[in-house]
Structure 1
Amino acid sequence: MYVGARTLAEEVAGLVRIPSVNPLHAGPRAEEYGPVGEGAIAARLAARCEAAGAREVVLDEVLPGRPNVYGLFRGRSDRLVVVDVHTDTVTVESMTDPPFDGRIEQGSVWGRGALDTKATLGVLLALLDSWHRAGLRPEHGLLLVGSVGEEAGGLVGATRFRPWAEQRGLRIDRMLVAEPTEFRPVHGLKGLVLVEVTAHGTASHSARPDLGANAVEAMAPVIAAFVAEQERLGALPAATELGNGTVSVTQISGGTGSNVIPERCSVTVGRRIVPGEDPDDVLARLADIARAACPVPCKVTSLLPRTPDGRAGSPAFYQPPDSDFVQYLARAAGTAPAVAPFGANALRYSGLADELVVFGPGSIEDAHQDTERVAVADLVRLAGILTGWLAPG
């Protein structure tokens, strides 16, 4: 059943107009538009699922005021498919456009989240509403998951959804995780271990550095050691299309004044991991590197919540590209299977479904920018692909 371009665009625009900035990306500009977080869009999603005929809608509070939403729709068979769409967005503090106006112009819907990932959410809601009004059901049961906390905070929504699904004994045949992939079915993602390394020195007057232990200077060999680790990783042979693991120092802080020898300095270190690497082993190696290089006492703290099975970070996600679902989406979209270096909720879902794919319109390179938009033509294209997959009747 065809749903028009204008209907699809207006559904996406309506979602963009609901601010849902991840609280870890909050700032004065975001707060001008109301409370940050996913609470408002969760309420909208729940209401839209109910209006579209969901047989069950669950608001599952992951963090205060930040619920996941699970909308379960009846199908014409006992099989179950899942579409996971994260409801949070990144910061709007540097945006040069009005961040939440959701205007439709120049063939696009504009505003934060339009591409990443309210496009998929809006298109699917428009389809479900249209099918419901026409008395149609998807071929298989459909569970729509609106998950919080994908953009920052350790994929907490996905971390919560997995045990919820397992406790209910859900058998998931196919799962689509919405992200901008240029309509390429992504079958592999690098995992992540994220740590903070803190050097603890001794403060003194800067005129008497001999009386102190400079924590900022102590961090210099630690950073150099991580640079050397990145060079080592780059020289390793790649086991899959995902290539090698990488390590990057991404943030640094320390010092209290220009005339005080700093007693503390911290850096944030991100380690992307590939298939075959265990997050706990990677965490242990990062800690060993830091402690061996730091001339003063240092502490290494994992910044990610533990996975449901207790690991310190997200293992890589990978499945062979000859998966039936991967191949179906590639044919439907006219693209080729791919892998990607970015993180996504799929890192929490390995093994939860028989087949798992990351997929959606637009490019990840256009996300998180000072402007954000999704082409209306891509919404129409996505609607056709989802309709072919879900096969309403």
Structure 2
Amino acid sequence: MLPETSPETPLPADDDPAGLLARLIAIDSVNPDLVAGGAGESAIAAFCAAWLAGRGFEVHTLERRPGRPSLVAVARGSGGGRSLMLNGHLDTVGLTGYDGDPLDPRVRDGRMHGRGAFDMKGGLAAMMTAAARATARGPLRGDVLLACVADEEHGSSGTEEVLESFTADAAIVTEPSHLEVTLAHKGFAWFEVRVEGRAAHGSRPDLGVDAIAKAGHFLVALEELGARLARGPAHPLLGTGTVHASVISGGREPATYPEHCSITLERRTVPGEDAATAEAELAALLGRLAVTVPDFRYRLTPGLHREPFAADPESAIVRTLTRNAEAVLGHPPAVRGEPFWTDAALLDRAGIPCLLFGVDGEGAHAAREWADLASVDRLTAVLAGTITDFCS
């Protein structure tokens, strides 16, 4: 339950970013790739499409995966100006285990609680309201695009689909950043290592090879790799890359030598590293074990990977947003990097200069989640000023 520290505050109308945030929280948009049977993005995409169309935006719905729509809303410019895309995701993680009703937005002590309030319907509400305000008096010179995307919490298929049909001169991803300018984030690469043994009765060590025991050599070496990475060159905003074992499985019964042991691991990467460099590290590590450990046999299989991201701090969009943030906040915004991955890396790979800037709050993926409403208002003001300046 929410803490009983103060009475609840009535919710504002949805022309206000806080009111729009409440409407968005109340729509179940759990990613079904994370939670079987999750509602997906259909209902929330329909709501956002209607809200934006009602404010003069040209709305395009993209739905290559049935039931997983993304939308791009465009305010066409009069010509001769730079275009700007604002990107925010519609999906959330699951509702199970949330403390209270996750779809019942409540305001207490200036904070709006509910699933997705922080990650990232607060940013979604701010970017929609900001774009509506910035274009309300007539077209700017450049186009304003709002990409409200599906599936960021799992595979980012929404932003990938958007980028097949739309581009812009710059972009802002409104992931939560505590009103700090985020210019870099880590990437990741997943791998499976299958250590091979030989099944045999537990009474026949002459015949069996214990895959789990052999895997222990790999786990020790993996820990040593992590320590070497921590001592290596550090990115100024992100530090060093990391590696950890995530899932392990093997064996069938107490009286049988296990014929294989599988380990899933994650390598978090910083700029200058990628999935190929991570795979080469692991292949070298495993190759040394195959030479030095008797009967050590393995198979290394790459899985999903995403690149790290680093923005140019001197790009026009970074300078424009930073100037507007300083005007709204009353001080220069802090600059930071994030350890997690976002869709900014996909925009950057597509040749769109971008950065992250979003609300303050807490509880992403947690039992309690909230967004600071003052930060939602400030974010809206920063984004509206940035849109006006950049697209004029």
Note closer, same or farther for the CA distance 1:258–1:61 as it changes in structure 2 (3 Å cut): farther
Q: Is the 8 A contact 2:119 2:364 kept in 1?
A: yes
Amino acid at match of 1:25: L
Write out per-residue CA displacement over residues 169-215 of structure 1, whole angstroms, 9 at most, x where no aligned residue.
x4x22210121111111111122211122223344455556543333
Structure 1 residue 356: Cα displacement: 0.9
1:310 matched to which residue of 2? none
1:307 matched to which residue of 2? none
Q: Is the 8 A contact 2:212 2:250 kept in 1?
A: yes
In 2, the alpha carbon distance for the partners of 1:235 and 1:131 equals 47
In 2, the alpha carbon distance for the partners of 1:273 and 1:183 equals 25
Structure 1 residue 314: Cα displacement: 2.4
Note closer, same or farther for the CA distance 1:189–1:204 as it changes in structure 2 (3 Å cut): same
Structure 1 vs Structure 2: percent identity of aligned residues? 32
Q: Is the 8 A contact 2:198 2:259 kept in 1?
A: yes
Structure 1 residue 26: Cα displacement: 0.7
In 2, the alpha carbon distance for the partners of 1:293 and 1:148 equals 42
In 1, the alpha carbon distance for the partners of 2:161 and 2:240 equals 29
1:282 matched to which residue of 2? 278
Q: Equivalences for 1:248-259 in 2 at 5 Å?
A: 248-259=244-255
Write out per-residue CA displacement over residues 204-233 of structure 1, whole angstroms, 9 at most, x where no aligned residue.
455556543333222211111111111111
Q: More displaced, 206-215 or 371-380? A: 206-215
In 2, the alpha carbon distance for the partners of 1:96 and 1:264 equals 41
The alignment status of 1:54 with 2:57, answered yes or no, reads: yes
Note closer, same or farther for the CA distance 1:52–1:353 as it changes in structure 2 (3 Å cut): farther
Query: TM-score when scaled to structure 1?
Result: 0.83
The alignment status of 1:67 with 2:59, answered yes or no, reads: no
Q: Equivalences for 1:198-347 in 2 at 5 Å?
A: 198-206=194-202, 208=204, 211-238=207-234, 240-290=236-286, 292-293=288-289, 295-304=295-304, 313-333=305-325, 334=331, 335-347=333-345
Q: Equivalences for 1:26-41 in 2 at 5 Å?
A: 26=35, 31=37, 35-41=38-44
Helix, strand or coil: the match of 2:178? coil
Q: Is the 8 A contact 1:115 1:362 kept in 2?
A: yes
Note closer, same or farther for the CA distance 1:129–1:336 as it changes in structure 2 (3 Å cut): closer
The alignment status of 1:372 with 2:381, answered yes or no, reads: no
Larger Rg over CA atoms: 2
The count of aligned residue pairs is: 368
Helix, strand or coil: the match of 2:97? coil
1:361 matched to which residue of 2? 359
Query: TM-score when scaled to structure 2?
Result: 0.84
Q: More displaced, 229-238 or 211-220? A: 211-220
1:309 matched to which residue of 2? none
The counterpart of 1:113, out of the listed 106, 111, 116, is 116
Helix, strand or coil: the match of 1:187? strand
Q: Is the 8 A contact 2:222 2:243 kept in 1?
A: yes
1:21 matched to which residue of 2? 30
Helix, strand or coil: the match of 2:219? helix
Structure 1 residue 158: Cα displacement: 2.6
Amino acid at match of 1:44: F
Q: Is the 8 A contact 1:111 1:371 kept in 2?
A: yes
Amino acid at match of 1:302: P
Write out per-residue CA displacement over residues 142-193 of structure 1, whole angstroms, 9 at most, x where no aligned residue.
111122222223x33233333333xxxx4x2221012111111111112221
Note closer, same or farther for the CA distance 1:100–1:320 as it changes in structure 2 (3 Å cut): same
In 2, the alpha carbon distance for the partners of 1:66 and 1:36 equals 10
Note closer, same or farther for the CA distance 1:39–1:300 as it changes in structure 2 (3 Å cut): farther
Helix, strand or coil: the match of 2:119? coil
In 2, the alpha carbon distance for the partners of 1:88 and 1:382 equals 20
In 1, the alpha carbon distance for the partners of 2:351 and 2:358 equals 18
In 2, the alpha carbon distance for the partners of 1:138 and 1:372 equals 36
Amino acid at match of 2:193: V
